[in-house]
Amino acid sequence: MNNQPVLSRAHIFTAAFFLIFVVLLFQVSRLLEPFLSALIWAAIIALALHPLYRRTVTLLRGRRSLSAILMTLATLLLVIGPAVVLFVMLASQVVDLYQWTVKSVQSGQWMDLWNRLKGSALGSLLEQPFVAQLDIKGFLVKGLSQFSSDLAGQVAGALKNILLLTVNFLIMLFALFFFFRDGETYYATAMEILPFSDEQKRSITEKLSGTFSAVINGIFLIALLQGVVTGVGFAIFGVPFPVFWGFLAFILALLPIVGAAGVWAPGALYLFLQGFTLKAVLLGIWGLLLVSTPDNFLKPIFIGKKAKIPTFFLFIGILGGLKVYGFLGILFGPLVVTLVIVFVQIYREEFANR
């Protein structure tokens, strides 16, 4: 007869340890929650620039702290600084665009443009019953009302949280230094505690790294380039609010369906309806040759075999990630999909055939 207790001291210790550990993790997550976005952005920037950091360490003969300081300062001056300036310009142009649109609706200028459009080669399409019955002016007024309400709420929220935004910015820079300097140590520690074999860890790392590189280089940076080129083209050919439209082109370029053509094509149409036929044609050529066409051969080059998941799942991950996680979902969505695929593969190798 077995007289050993059902629960030994080792079992009790293990249960207590993990219970306390989970409680501590929960408390730490609560502590980090206000600054989570800053830490995530710092981690993303550090990962994206890690090859450059390694070169800097080599040039400085292994001085990791000095290399991390220089990389953080360079990131502040060359990446974060311009991004903040563009954000301020974007906020200003959003407000100006709203005011300009309100005046255009009230003065009837929008309806003049609509009438010119109906008189153009697209008039037959616009005379279709489902289009002709649209209340264009009512739609614009209602849309602008909702837009102004959302804009006011966002501005008020930003003003209330200006101190928190400043603190988040400083924390991001502070975290960026440590992610540069100690990121490899953090990575090694994470690999040690994962309950997988070395081969499985290597598979997870390779697939996540490939997806990260594909999203950053093959999608995010190309979309950013398309947004910049679109904004520059709008500024050259006289389309108002080029920073706003460039930002919108960047957002649409992240999507596999519409793309930046959803911005530059209406911009060319706007110039045509305003009577600037030559500018409209030149903007159309600009958009076709410099914005949309490069996208077709740059993405295969940058994504190529780096993406360790099918392209379809990559874009589904981006679209779903944007919906669930917001802007960070551009990266989080594909990474989550990649993890699911890796875990399915591990399951097939370890359990399915038993």
Give the residue from 148, 164, 193 where a domain finishes.
193
Same domain, 309 and 185: no
**Domain count for the chain:** 2
Give the residue from 167, 193, 219 where a domain finishes.
193
Same domain, 207 and 307: yes
Same domain, 172 and 317: no
Instruction: Assess if residue 245 is contained within a domain.
Output: yes
Instruction: Assess if residue 173 is contained within a domain.
Output: yes
Same domain, 324 and 175: no
Same domain, 173 and 238: no
> Torsion angle, CA of 199/201/204/209, rounded to 10 degrees?
-110
Instruction: Assess if residue 228 is contained within a domain.
Output: yes
Instruction: Assess if residue 222 is contained within a domain.
Output: yes
Same domain, 175 and 290: no
pLDDT of residue 231: 95
Instruction: Assess if residue 127 is contained within a domain.
Output: yes
Same domain, 309 and 333: yes
Per-residue confidence band for 144, with pLDDT thresholds at 50, 70 and 90: low
- Supply the range of the domain harboring residue 283: 198-354
Same domain, 102 and 158: yes
Q: Give pLDDT tens digits for 303-342.
A: 655 666 677 787 788 888 888 888 788 888 888 888 888 8
Same domain, 228 and 337: yes
Instruction: Assess if residue 15 is contained within a domain.
Output: no
pLDDT of residue 173: 92
Q: Give pLDDT tens digits for 263-317.
A: 999 899 889 888 888 999 999 999 999 998 877 777 766 665 566 667 778 778 8
Tell me the mean pLDDT in the region 117-124. Answer: 63
Q: Give pLDDT tens digits for 168-209.
A: 889 999 999 999 999 999 988 888 888 788 888 888 888 888
Give the residue from 136, 160, 193 where a domain finishes.
193
Same domain, 318 and 183: no
Instruction: Assess if residue 263 is contained within a domain.
Output: yes
Instruction: Assess if residue 21 is contained within a domain.
Output: no
- Report whether pLDDT(220) > 70: yes
Same domain, 162 and 209: no
Same domain, 97 and 204: no
